[in-house]
Amino acid sequence: MLAFEVIQYDNTSSARRGRLQTSHGFVNTPVFMPVGTQASVKTMTPAELYEIGVDIILANTYHLYLRPGEDLVAEAGGLHSFMNWGKSILTDSGGFQVFSLSKLRKISDDGVYFNSHIDGSTHFLNPEKVMEIQQALGADIAMCFDECSPYPCSYEEAERAVMRTTLWAERCRRAHTAENQALFGIVQGNVFPDLRERSTKELLNLDFPGYAVGGLSVGEPKADMYSILETTTALLPLEKPRYLMGVGEPEDLLAGVARGVDMFDCVLPTRLARHGTAYTSHGKLTVRNATNARDFRPLDDNCQCDVCRNYSRAYIRHLIKAGEILALRLLTYHNVYFLTHLMENIKRAIAENNLSSFSKEFLARYQQG
Sheet holding 105-107, edge to edge: 105-107, 112-115, 122-125
Longest dimension (CA), the chain: 60
Residue of 92, 146, 262, 300 marked active site:
92
**Catalytic annotation on 224?**
no
Looking at beta carbons, which pairs linking 215-219 to residues 24 or more positions away fall under 8 Å?
Answer: 215/148, 215/149, 215/151, 215/161, 215/188, 215/189, 215/190, 216/244, 216/245, 216/246, 216/247, 217/246, 217/247, 217/252, 218/148, 218/150, 218/151, 218/246, 219/150, 219/151, 219/152
Q: Whose CA is closest to 149, among 95, 101, 109?
A: 95
Q: Is the dihedral of CA 321, 326, 330, 332 positive or negative?
A: positive
**Catalytic annotation on 92?**
yes
Residue of 10, 140, 252, 265 marked active site:
265
Positions marked active-site:
92, 265
